[in-house]
Amino acid sequence: MRKNSPEAASPMEAAVEIDGDEKPDRLLLDQITDKWSILILAALCAKPLRFNELRRCLDGITQKALTQSLRRLERSGILARRVIPSSQVAVEYSVTPLGRTLEEPFRAVYGWTVQYAPAVLQAQAAFDQRAAEEEK
């Protein structure tokens, strides 16, 4: 396996330059930017939740998808899974210290979507407008 590259003078460009084979960065990037990870982390950063509580927060997610996302995040050390001793089976998910370090970057991205959503919607409308016109 390859260790990561020494030191890239340019910040992000490294991702697109060293592309000879599958970079771990790219894989990792895919993992954390998947459909639900951001939202799951957002929910658990607020407070730890149990499986079905979490499911209710993430409206639209299936049990299977949630389980998979949770496992993947747990495996990567971003979430912790803790079985609560009780009469009923109870499992609580929480964010690890490592996961906490992701909160900021994610907040930046999510903040962007909120801030610029109107601009983007407008751009999309304009684009569709133009497309429709030259269709005629």
Partner DNA sequence: CAGCATCCTGAGCGATACTG
Partner DNA sequence: CAGTATCGCTCAGGATGCTG
Residue ranges in contact with DNA by CB under 7 A: 35, 50-53, 61-65, 67-68, 70-71, 81, 88-91
CB of 9 to DNA, least distance (A): 27
From CA 53, how far away is CA 91, in angstroms rounded?
Answer: 10
Q: Is 80 within 8 Å of 74 (Cβ atoms)?
A: yes
Question: By C-alpha distance, which of 9, 38, 7, 48 is closest to 104?
Answer: 38
Q: 84: which strand partners?
A: 90
Task: Tell me the per-residue interface mask from 58 to 87 with a copy of itself, x by CB under 8 A, - otherwise.
Answer: xxx-------------xxxxx---------
Across-strand partners of 50? 92
The residue ranges that bind a copy of itself (CB under 8 A) are 2, 4-5, 10-17, 19-20, 24-26, 28-30, 32-35, 38-39, 42-43, 45-46, 57-60, 74-78, 98, 101-124, 126-128
